[in-house]
Amino acid sequence: FYDGFLAIIGWMMYFLPFGLLCLFADEIAKVGFEIVWATAKLIIFIYIACIFSLIAYSLMMWFKCVKK
């Protein structure tokens, strides 16, 4: 039973990019290319936040280890 569901999910994963592309195309048709710019800004913000967190936590760990 479990293996059957895994097989179905595995096959569905092949069609996932096509479905996401269709959803994104529908949003572009409704809103325009502003949605692409908004999505790009969100992705850039997430990358900047991750890099900032990585640097901040690395510095905290470095200061904590240097004191010992």
Contacts of 36 (CB under 8 A, 6+ apart): 28
Residues 27 and 3 in one domain: yes
What's the confidence (pLDDT) of residue 5?
94
Q: Identify whether residues 24 and 51 lie together within a single domain.
A: no
User: How far, in Å, CA of 4 to CA of 42, rounded?
Assistant: 37
Regarding whether 24 and 47 lie in a shared domain, the answer is: no
Cβ distance 36 to 28 under 8 Å?
yes
Same domain, 68 and 38: yes
Residue 27: what pLDDT?
87
CB neighbour list of residue 28: distance below 8 Å, 6 or more residues apart:
35, 36
* Residue 48 burial class via C-beta count within 10 angstroms: exposed 0-12, middle 13-18, buried 19 and up: exposed
Q: Are residues 39 and 25 in the same domain?
A: no
> Do 37 and 68 share a domain, yes or no?
yes
Number of domains in the chain: 2
Q: Which domain holds residue 6?
A: 1-31
pLDDT tens profile 4-59: 999 999 999 999 999 999 998 998 999 888 888 998 999 999 999 999 999 999 99
Same domain, 26 and 37: no
